[in-house]
Chain A
Amino acid sequence: MMKLIKAIAFIGILFTIGCKDSYFTDGGAKPADQSGNLGVSTMDYLESHRESFDTLARLIRLTKLEDEVNAQGNTFFAPRDYSIHNYFKLIYPDPQNTPATLEAIPQEDMDRIAAIIKNYIIPGDEIVRNDLATTYSYATTSGDTKARFNVVTSDYLGNVNLGAKFIMFSLNVSPAGATERYQSVQVVTADLRSTNGVVHILNSDTHIFGFN
């Protein structure tokens, strides 16, 4: 009888400890304590996450925009390397003519890249999810383009106003003066707080660097 009880107790223990959800991983974009406080500057954060942002960080250095990215009180929407990879595939469709290194990119293309990066920076405005609503709010990027923000909720069952809240970051892709046309991208990791401002990470599957 004692043996049976022991066996049941043992199985019970197995069940309880078998349910640890430490297998859950989130890609490591947030600090381990899940607080969102990075404790480093935006640039340092990008550089320390080489798996997602090393191309982005090098492009920022090459275009000498570190100071703008690191400016106090700004918001930076970080496109992942996969978005940049797809951008290069788009502008250099022929593998023969693709620059071998980032340093070898011609100056005029580099200027275009600088203009693109500026559109991911919102100077002097800390945009966090709790300040946003389902209705649109607007800001101007460092590249002088109109940006639009709103929050959408999605619970995979189609219930209204339930489930995870996502920031939608949209950029006006029309030339100046024309009717505004927005292209949007979903923020997948929101509200990371660096020592100088706020960092949001963008969905890299559908989004291509530069809203192309």
Chain B
Amino acid sequence: MKNKVIATFLLVLILAETSCKKWLDETPINTVTEEQAWKNGADAEGAVAAAFAIFRRALSGLTKEDTPSTTRNGSWGDYYFWGDSRSGDWITPNNDGDWNAGFQNHLIQRTELEPMTNWRLFYRAIEQCNLVLEKIPEITDGLTDERKAQLLAEARFMRALSHFYAARVWGDIPINLKARNVDALGREPLNTVMRMVVNEVDMALPNLLWENKGTIKESRSRGTRGAALALKAHALMWLKDYQGASDAIKQIMDSNNYRLATIDGLRTMFDTGESAEVIFEMYYDKSKGEYSDYYGHIMTYYLTNPYTSRGELSLAVPKSKILEIYPDYARDKSDKRVNEFFQSIDFSVSSSELRPIFADPLQNGERAIMFAKFRKVKDRTYNLMDAPVPIFRYADVLLLKAEADARLGRVSEALENLNKVRTRAGIPTFTRDDAPVVIEEVLAERRRELIGEFHRVYDLVRLGRLHEFNSYITEQGEKDGAGFFPVSDEAFANNPNMEQTYYWQFNQ
């Protein structure tokens, strides 16, 4: 009897477990298929917007949902880890092992850092652009020729930008200009990639507008002529074509479409992206349901209470480093950027309250100063990070032009642009007129102005000088490719032409 009861019970249990098979599910009849997807103007608009959306996700990084080989639950704001963390300027005050490994260029041994070595999302953005460039020319329904040309130019710009961004992170990368590519692509030399970027931009430029419709952030989160010229100038700097870079930026300046914000206007620019200084950014807008949750936006990690409910800093620039980077502030507190970019929080107040912010940005000690360039409303929620991710802005290209001009021996022109940025920050104009000193100063100024904006590591890698600032990287190591990220295992699957960066064949 008892046995029967147990057996019945087990039977019921087995039935209950297995009865949930989804054999009733069918593909709904409204699924969009390839043939239906490219019919009219609205499809074309959506397809191009999707390319930009994928690129924004590529910046924040891969998650477990993107690829099973990834362990990470959410993305981390990888643009920071690619473009800033190895610059030698950062510490992790709570000694997070993953981030320390990142600072020290140990990019393979930690499984949590592995997703950062994966370029899959950049190639998804590229693939989307390739599809757009193949399919949109055939669409005639609800799409004027003029708009069609603009959309194609935007796709071309985004394809170039994705290649460019990936090339700065990984160095030599595959070039994919075909929709639905099935060939095993090998890596092309960095210079070939950059030349391709310049060519693509030149093709896109005639059809790009200076402004798209919408507010500034909506307009400048899509392809514009200014963004394309900034991209071209950056790519030409990698090719050491300083004349070309200087000319491209001259066009940006002559357009009178952009101008430096005031020092107080920096807040608006970083918080909302609505500033005439922005050239290209990727915005989030929580009123449209677009925001980055706890993970996914880098400002999660350096903000604490009162901006989020975190009690401790995870990423910071140490006080001694701030004083080294901003010598004018160390001397007489004249550099106004320190006040804009850094804050000291009263950590003696309970974390269940909104903690006050000290008047002196450097009041807290060496390891307890908050990098507050990007903030959010003080409400202590983790999510709703909707500050835009900056990519190019006017101060950035002015300084780039100053570097190019100085390298071409046009020191007075270089000083003019360098001093525009210095004057805004409230520090004395630079007057030395020997080119090498000016070039050094422009680099230091880029470090001061663009700290935490994902430029510093790329600047140093471009010049082969990362080893001077990051003691974990040797000169020979950098020559072997230590400045670039390693290629993830996933890229080697079914691809006999893929090769690991030389340095990363022997290092972790």
Chain A residues engaging chain B, CB cutoff 8 angstroms: 1, 86, 90, 93, 134, 148, 150, 152-155, 158-161, 168, 170, 173, 181-184, 186, 205-208, 211-212
Contact = CB atoms under 8 A, between A and B. Distances in A.
* Count class of interface residues, chain B: 20 to 34
A200 B91 CA distance: 26
Interface in B362-402: 363-368, 380
A170 B365 CA distance: 12
Given A152-B350, A154-B311, A183 B365 contact: yes
B309 interface: yes
Contact of B366 (A86, A134, A168, A181): A86
Q: Which 6 A-B pairs have the closest CB atoms?
A: A184-B348, A152-B350, A168-B348, A160-B352, A208-B366, A206-B367
Given A181-B360, A205-B93, A206-B94, A148 B348 contact: yes
A152 B348 CA distance: 7
B93 A206 contact: yes
Contacts of A153: 350, 352
A211 B366 CA distance: 8
Nearest to B367: A206
Nearest to B358: A181
A48 to B, nearest CB: 25
Contacts of B94: 205-206
A207 B95 contact: no
A205 B95 contact: yes
Contacts of A93: 320
Interface of B: 2, 93-95, 309, 311-313, 319-320, 346-353, 358, 360, 363-368, 380
Contact of B367 (A86, A134, A150): A86
Given A158-B351, A182-B346, A206-B313, 10 more contacts: A152-B348, A153-B352, A160-B350, A170-B348, A181-B358, A183-B363, A184-B347, A205-B367, A212-B319, A212-B366
7 contacts: A86-B366, A152-B349, A154-B311, A158-B351, A158-B352, A183-B365, A206-B313
Contact of B346 (A154, A155, A161, A184): A184
A130 B419 CA distance: 57
A154 to B, nearest CB: 5
Given A90-B366, A181-B363, A183-B364, A206 B312 contact: yes
A208 B366 CA distance: 7
A208 B367 contact: yes
Given A1-B2, A90-B320, A206 B352 contact: no
Contact of A168 (B95, B347, B352): B347
A158 B351 CA distance: 7
Nearest to A134: B350
Contact of A212 (B309, B350, B353, B365): B365
Nearest to B351: A154
A208 B347 contact: no
Contacts of B349: 152
B363 A173 contact: yes
B231 to A, nearest CB: 38
A206 B365 contact: yes
A205 B94 CA distance: 5
Nearest to B364: A183
Given A205-B93, A211-B365, A152 B320 contact: no
Contacts of B309: 158
Nearest to A82: B95
A73 B365 CA distance: 30
A160 B380 CA distance: 13
A153 to B, nearest CB: 6
Nearest to B324: A93
Residue among A1, A161, A170, A183 with the highest chain B CB neighbour number at 10 A: A183
B2 A152 contact: no
Contacts of A207: 365, 367
A184 B312 CA distance: 13
A161 B353 CA distance: 10
A154 B348 contact: no
Contacts of B311: 154
Contacts of A181: 358, 360, 363
Contacts of A182: 346, 348
A160 B351 CA distance: 9
A170 B93 CA distance: 18
Nearest to A95: B471
